[in-house]
Amino acid sequence: MGMTATQKILAAHAGRGAVTAGELLTMPVDLVLGNDITAPVAIREMARAGCDSVFDRGKIALVLDHFTPNKDIAAARQCSAVRAFARRHAIEHFYDVGAMGVEHTLLPEKGLAAPGEVIIGADSHTCTYGALGAFSTGVGSTDMAAGMATGRAWFKVPAAIRIELAGALVRPLCGKDVVLYLIGLLGVDGARYLSLEFGGPGVASLSMDDRFTVANMAIECGAKNGLFPVDDTTRAYLAGRAARRWTAYTADEDAVYERTVTIDLGALTPLVACPHLPSRVRPASELSHVSVSQVVIGSCTNGRLEDMRAAAEILRGRRVCDGVRCLVIPASQEVYLRSLREGLLEVFVEAGAAVSTPTCGPCLGGHMGILDEGEVCVSTTNRNFVGRMGHVTSEIYLAGPSVAAASAVAGHIAAP
């Protein structure tokens, strides 16, 4: 019986010739990730267990991104604990304000994720790096603590769903529309503990930023991970970033899948996920009756350079509608700087938007965009649960950057 690409990665790391779905394995990991919310818990657990060293200071990444720049004393204490730990153990990949970014944008930029690697992170959207052909998945802070101390983790080998991408994506559609369509098909638990393995001729029409967005939201339908094939687009992105040797894995021809889902990319339209689940997907054109209080363009899902360009294309020469707050948050210093050099930030400011330093901020209701009772937000983030961005009666509509920007201008949900 053949293996999927995910199963091949896990087998190689476990030193096994083959594995099957459902097996429990322990194996070395290539990178352990934590942020300013989850890392302090892991640090305390290491101390409780009597662990006074890390397995490899070059294979741990600590990113202060969720409540930074610090919003209050509690956030400052969280970050201070991580800073002290990073200094004590000489962590090589420590990213603080001024040199950081939203973790799942920053790590690929820095070349810390590569094909065939096993990456764990104490953040559910660690599955983002599957866009590069890595097995990456979110874990709890205790698993992060064990990973930092031992360099190992345990997994149940997942079964898989094959996602066959046909046709070609036509702009201004983007990866967000693809993944919202998929989540709408599968539901929020339709891929529970399964691997989503993407393939087909349509993959070639997805940019690297598109793929990051799709892999990022694999968890939103319950998937353990999302995995894209390694192709010329992947190699071009990795060039000059991940200089180490890596291995690209492909599924066997007789690999077993739970099911196959085919998506015709050319037939998609701009989509929006309605409150309060990412699976409540409708065409943007059907939601023009929904008035908007706030728009957020950013996050680990859609804060990359292509997202900034797409939003600027809509906002150039226009103004944000009176009564609407538009927040634009480039997801890393690199994205911020390139947006600055391309004149995109000028476009945003002239349109009446507020531009922020990189932060997760409003995505998780952290700061810089908390919603009041009854307010409505169109956001390029990845979750729209009850109270996610503030008051429990507020509402979040998830969309790509073009729809978000068009909605900021119109004052209601609008297709670009």
Q: What is the pLDDT of residues 68-97, one digit of tens each?
A: 999 999 999 999 999 999 999 999 999 999
Estimate the crossing angle of helix 305-315 against helix 333-341, to 10 degrees.
40
Question: How would you label 256-284 residue by residue, b for 16+ Cβ within 10 Å and e otherwise?
Answer: bbeeebebebeebebbbbbbbbbbbbeeb
Q: How far, in Å, CA of 359 to CA of 311, rounded?
A: 18
Longest dimension (CA), the chain: 62
**Contact between 2 and 254 (Cβ < 8 Å):** yes
pLDDT band at 274 (very low <50, low <70, confident <90, very high): very high
Q: How far, in Å, CA of 325 to CA of 355, rounded?
A: 11
In this predicted model, which residue has the larger pLDDT, 295 or 243? 295
Mean pLDDT of 139-155: 97
Q: How far, in Å, CA of 311 to CA of 321, rounded?
A: 15
Q: What is the pTM of this model?
A: 0.96
Query: What's the mean per-residue pLDDT of the chain?
Result: 97
Q: What is the pLDDT of residue 324?
A: 98
Mean pLDDT of 172-177: 97
Write the single-letter amino acid at 143: D
389: phi then psi, degrees, rounded to nearest 5: -110, 10
pLDDT band at 243 (very low <50, low <70, confident <90, very high): confident
Q: What is the pLDDT of residues 10-42, one digit of tens each?
A: 999 999 999 999 999 999 999 999 999 999 999
Q: What is the pLDDT of residue 138?
A: 97
With 0-12 CB in 10 A as exposed, 13-18 as middle and 19+ as buried, what is 214? buried
Q: How far, in Å, CA of 280 to CA of 274, rounded?
A: 5
Q: What is the pLDDT of residues 219-241, one digit of tens each?
A: 999 999 999 999 999 999 999 99
Mean pLDDT of 288-313: 98
Q: What is the pLDDT of residue 149?
A: 97
- List, in sequence order, every beta strand (DSSP E) within 39-130: 60-63, 93-95, 118-121
pLDDT band at 1 (very low <50, low <70, confident <90, very high): confident
**Contact between 2 and 253 (Cβ < 8 Å):** yes
Q: What is the pLDDT of residues 316-352, one digit of tens each?
A: 999 999 999 999 999 999 999 999 999 999 999 999 9
**Contact between 311 and 404 (Cβ < 8 Å):** yes
Q: Please report the domains of the chain, with CATH numbers, ordered by start residue.
A: 5-263 (3.30.499.10), 271-410 (3.30.499.10)
